[in-house]
A and B are shown apart, each in its own frame.
Chain A
Amino acid sequence: MIAQIDVRAVLSRSVCEFHNDLVTRSTGRAVRSGIEAHLQEHPDVTVVVLDFSAVRVLDCSCADEVVAQLLLRTEPGAERDRPTYFVVRGLDEVHAEQIDEVLRRHGLTLVAEERGGAKRLLGLATDLMRTAWASVVSHGSAVPEELAIELSWPVDDARRALDDLAGHRLVMRADAHYLPLTAA
């Protein structure tokens, strides 16, 4: 199940209905707690789309709490028995920069859909991962053998890249197939 969460609405509920900006670390903590509470109430949610469209200013401290800490606290092996996948949507260029910066600092990666609809990976990812991810997104799915042929890679490299993507929760694995999150 996919859940779309309007981050600005969470901000209104958690902190103040008049705030438009995701600024300060304490605000970030409150918003993250609101998102985590939603996930606890809906344990069947697999993919979470965090929608930043209505957010005006996002600072580094708040991005760290809302996005990076959320990813860290929901890493596989934590409380939930299956992985939760995250996508951020509706980012402007400045939002994307802030989130990219904090993810890199933690060695994390995340799928982002910018306001124009373009999809990209934010944070730390190898060139192999980025290339493989772009192929999965463009084709709607991938298996290692087909990816290896398409990119002229050894099959082992293709499999490793896809497994890395799945390990970082950037694609979902369904048997032999690797699926982009938004198509899941």
Chain B
Amino acid sequence: MTAVVEVPVSFDDRAFETFATALAAAGDARVLVDAHATEWASPFGLVSLLCAGQAVRERTGSRALFTVPADKDVAAYWARTGFFQEAEELFEIHGTVPKVRQPPEGTVLLEVTPVRVAGDVHKVVDRIQDRSAAILATELGLEAKATLSFGMALSEACQNIVEHAGTGGWVAVHAYTWRRRLGKRVVVIAVADPGVGFRRSLEPTQARRYGDRWGDGAALEAALIQGVSRFREPGRGQGFRGIRKYLDRWEGKISIRSGTARIAMVRDWDEDVPLREGLAPFPGAQLQLVIPAVAGPAA
């Protein structure tokens, strides 16, 4: 029997819960990830799909089926984001994958890129600094200083995979307009892995301290709010502190989903909630950073 897991029509961090719930309900059945009706996916959606693919492969021993978006423009866009290049190892893909070479100019600042070792983080930062500084400055009105700090935030976000996930993951960075949510251009960084997640990473050093309160939500709070690391030596756990400081300056937002919980540093412009628990289980950690344009509403 095959369980069909539909990819939402507009697949971003909000719609993710519908997808995660359906995937969890599939259990050990063969999975068909059905994206034929999907019209748009954020970088968070794209890298989360890859996490799902890897998790299913590890859980069932076989690749999940995947249907390509029926809309040719959508499929072409996904191809240009680099999604299919990574997906073909994880899914048995059904449908036509368009052959494209160039990412959409001005939209995809960084294609879906695997992150496994520290050298991958160097490549990611290098590409972003080379290709995106002008876009960040012209489209978002960020000054040069902000683009250098952007590289720092991106690096720290990716290092979570290298240092804590116990497996590889992916990063993608897009710039687009959030018309309904913000009415501005934003840059969105999505970093996701299907690894051990925050709770298991921190459990050996933190679980006893929290007692009955220990869980996915407490682990996310410990990491993001208190800067706790699984490593005991002083000086560890500074990555999220640096990211938060950067986001504070640019009114940016961070949200992290791990296991059955999701935490967010909510801004005035947003309607998110700081902590959600009891969500459908999803492996690893999925992190999103949103940096809004300094300039006024998008045309």
Which of B59-67, B121-129, B197-205 is the interface stretch?
B121-129
Chain B residue with Cβ nearest A64? B235
B177: interface (CB < 8 Å): no
Known: A16-B119, A23-B125, A102-B235. A59 touches B241 (CB 8 A): no
A82: interface (CB < 8 Å): no
Contact B234 A57 (CB under 8 A): no
By a beta-carbon cutoff of 8 Å, the part of chain A in contact with chain B is 15-16, 19-21, 23-27, 56-61, 64, 68-69, 92-94, 97-98, 101-102, 105-106
Query: Residues of B within 8 Å of A, CB-based: how many?
Result: 25
Q: Which of A21, A92, A102, A106 contacts B151 (CB 8 A)?
A: A21
B104: interface (CB < 8 Å): no
Distance in angstroms from A19 CB to nearest chain B CB is: 5
How far is A56 from B152 in the complex, measured between Cα atoms in Å? 10
Contact B148 A59 (CB under 8 A): no
Known: A16-B119, A92-B148. A57 touches B238 (CB 8 A): no
B156: interface (CB < 8 Å): yes
Distance in angstroms from A95 CB to nearest chain B CB is: 8
A15: B residues at CB distance < 8 A: 122
Contact A21 B122 (CB under 8 A): yes
B155: interface (CB < 8 Å): yes
B118: interface (CB < 8 Å): yes
Known: A59-B242, A93-B145, A98-B242. A105 touches B235 (CB 8 A): yes
By a beta-carbon cutoff of 8 Å, the part of chain B in contact with chain A is 118-119, 121-122, 125-126, 129, 145, 148-149, 151-152, 155-156, 159, 162-163, 234-236, 238-239, 241-242, 245
Distance in angstroms from A104 CB to nearest chain B CB is: 10
Distance in angstroms from A83 CB to nearest chain B CB is: 21
How far is A112 from B79 in the complex, measured between Cα atoms in Å? 47
Chain A residue with Cβ nearest B227? A105
How far is A58 from B129 in the complex, measured between Cα atoms in Å? 12
A56: B residues at CB distance < 8 A: 129, 148, 151
Contact B235 A19 (CB under 8 A): no
Distance in angstroms from A61 CB to nearest chain B CB is: 6
Contact A68 B235 (CB under 8 A): yes
Contact B235 A69 (CB under 8 A): yes
Distance in angstroms from B109 CB to nearest chain A CB is: 15
Known: A60-B239, A94-B149, A101-B241. 19 other contacts (CB 8 A): A15-B122, A19-B122, A20-B126, A20-B129, A24-B122, A24-B162, A25-B159, A25-B163, A56-B148, A57-B129, A59-B151, A60-B242, A61-B159, A61-B239, A64-B236, A93-B145, A97-B245, A98-B242, A105-B238
How far is A15 from B123 in the complex, measured between Cα atoms in Å? 13
Q: Which of B145, B163, B238 contacts A60 (CB 8 A)?
A: B238
Contact A61 B238 (CB under 8 A): yes
Contact A60 B241 (CB under 8 A): yes
A-B contact pairs, 21 of them (CB 8 A): A20-B126, A23-B122, A23-B152, A23-B155, A24-B121, A24-B155, A24-B162, A26-B118, A27-B122, A57-B155, A60-B239, A60-B242, A61-B155, A61-B156, A61-B159, A61-B239, A68-B235, A94-B148, A97-B245, A101-B245, A102-B235
Known: A16-B119, A101-B245, A106-B234. A23 touches B239 (CB 8 A): no
Contact A57 B162 (CB under 8 A): no
Distance in angstroms from A98 CB to nearest chain B CB is: 7
Q: Which of A19, A57, A60, A105 contacts B148 (CB 8 A)?
A: A57
Contact A24 B245 (CB under 8 A): no
Question: What 4 pairs across the A-B complex have the smallest Cβ distances?
Answer: A57-B151, A60-B242, A23-B155, A24-B118
